[in-house]
Amino acid sequence: MLLSHYYKEVVEAGCDEAGRGCLAGSVYAAAVILPPDYDNPALNDSKKLTDRRRHALREQIERDALAWAVGIVTPDEIDRINILHASFLAMHRAIDQLKLRPEALIIDGNRFDSYRVGDGLPDEGRVLPYTCIVKGDAKYQSIAAASILAKTYRDDYMDALALQYPAYDWQSNKGYPTRKHREAIRLHGITPFHRRSYNLLGTDELEINFEEQDLP
């Protein structure tokens, strides 16, 4: 059973991201604040759940959470600042949108860029305390909830893009580096949603000339 909270008697938000390892698409992150006594035995790491189960849990999370939000960082931004900092920025954007202001953060993983409360928000300029928790989405309910929101909203986004670019099989791979995805890049080139800073073909032998290529 996952734990309800890490900090005691503090309003904490759990944060997680989805899409860090993808070749295409934005990276999504979610922040979730659950009630102090919340207990949902069905919550778990989103990767261990079926798509149908994740979407059912998303409805429960959005209904039960004291606050939740999703942040997005685009492929162009990822290429400018790198995927690690883009993942943290997506979390920051999610935290900015929370209708209930957190007093502390718990982050899935082992690194994080400190979050400073944004302009116009209560406690503007304050740096919130945070704790990074490796495999936190399998240990704490709020991180598991954030994992589910981030993944389902990103999957929905990739499904919509797949209708525009069916050759890349995004409805199945969600932008991750499968053989079919890379073969489509080899045959058709890149889209505006591919991350140009990534090794898109998965080899050092071939390169794509981004400057000369016409984007589909």
Q: Specify the DSSP element, H or E, that contains 12.
A: strand 12-18
d(CA 132, CA 109): 6
Residue 128 falls inside a structural domain: yes
What does each C-alpha distance from 154 to 28, 71, 79, 105, 128 come to in angstroms?
Answer: 6, 10, 18, 22, 26
Cβ atoms of 141 and 4 within 8 Å: the answer is: yes
pLDDT tens by residue, 161-179: 999 999 999 999 999 999 9
Is residue 213 a part of any domain in this protein? Answer: no
Domain count along the chain: 1
> What domain range is 116 assigned to?
12-161
Confirm if 127 and 104 have CB atoms less than 8 A apart. no
- CATH code (residue 92): 3.30.420.10
At residue 140, the pLDDT reads: 97
pLDDT by residue (tens digit) across 132-164? Answer: 999 999 999 999 999 999 999 999 999 999 999
Look at residue 34 and tell me if it is in a domain: yes
Whether 145 contacts 65, CB under 8 Å: yes
Task: Name the pLDDT band for 215 (thresholds 50, 70, 90).
Answer: very low
Q: Is residue 6 part of a domain?
A: no
* Both tokens assigned to 203: 């080899």
Indicate the pTM of the whole model. Answer: 0.91
- What's the CA gap between 183 and 192, in Å, rounded? 17
Closest CA to 131 of 8, 29, 26: 8
**Per-residue exposure over 8-32, b if at least 16 CB sit within 10 Å of its own CB, e if not:** eeebbbbbbbbbeebbbbbbbbbbb
pLDDT of 175: 97
Q: What percent of the chain has pLDDT over 70?
A: 94
CB 149 within 8 A of CB 61: yes
